[in-house]
């Protein structure tokens, strides 16, 4: 039976069937809880993966990607997002999720709502789905400026 979700936050029950949807749920669970070990288990290892977003910029390879997540998680800002309005398509060894994220970015002094366009491309490696590429962007220039200000100015 195929499962359909309107929104993914990471709190959804996984089917435990080794599906790309379970890998996506695990990504959001790990991201929203600041779990670096969980993120590492979802991302493709080595130099193959890539990420491009308004905070981390273009990063290539898990070491660079993990450094970006560490900087985010070690800062004062907390980001929590859910994935929604998405499509899902794939083949035997690849799966693409394209949609939107919405959520909040909070610091001890301020909170803003955030909205991203998001693509997550998973590939099958050793019978497990791994995130190979992520692209995120913000359409609203003011939101982008406010988000970057909160992330970059609120270091511990």
Q: Could you report the per-residue pLDDT of 26-69, keeping only the tens digit for each?
A: 999 999 999 999 999 999 999 999 999 998 899 999 999 999 99
- Domain 7-153 falls in which CATH fold? Nuclear Transport Factor 2; Chain: A, (3.10.450)
Condensed to tens digits (0 to 9), the pLDDT of residues 100-142 reads 999 999 999 999 999 999 999 999 999 999 999 999 999 999 9
Q: How confident is the model at residue 152 (pLDDT cuts 50, 70, 90)?
A: confident
Q: What is the pTM of this model?
A: 0.94
Tokens 């970006």 correspond to what residue? 68
Cα distance between residue 154 and residue 156, in whole Å = 7
**Region label for 77, one of left (φ > 0), alpha (ψ between -120 and 50) or beta (otherwise):** beta
* Closest by CA position to 155, among listed 119, 114, 108: 108
Sign of CA dihedral 13, 19, 21, 23: positive
Mean pLDDT of the chain: 94
């Amino acid at each position: 039976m195929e499962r359909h979700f309107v929104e993914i936050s990471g709190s959804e029950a996984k089917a435990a069937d080794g599906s790309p949807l379970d890998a996506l749920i695990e990504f959001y669970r790990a991201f929203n809880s600041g779990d670096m070990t969980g993120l590492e288990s979802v991302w493709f290892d080595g130099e193959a993966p890539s990420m491009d977003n308004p905070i981390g910029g273009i990063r290539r390879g898990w070491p660079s990607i993990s450094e970006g997540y560490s900087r985010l998680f070690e800062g004062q800002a907390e980001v929590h997002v859910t994935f929604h309005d998405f499509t899902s398509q794939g083949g035997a060894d690849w799966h693409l999720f394209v949609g939107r994220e919405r959520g909040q970015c909070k610091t001890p002094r301020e909170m803003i709502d955030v909205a991203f366009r998001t693509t997550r491309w998973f590939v099958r490696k050793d019978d497990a789905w791994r995130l190979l590429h992520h692209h995120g962007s913000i359409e609203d220039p003011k939101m982008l400026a406010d988000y970057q200000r909160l992330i970059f100015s609120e270091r511990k």
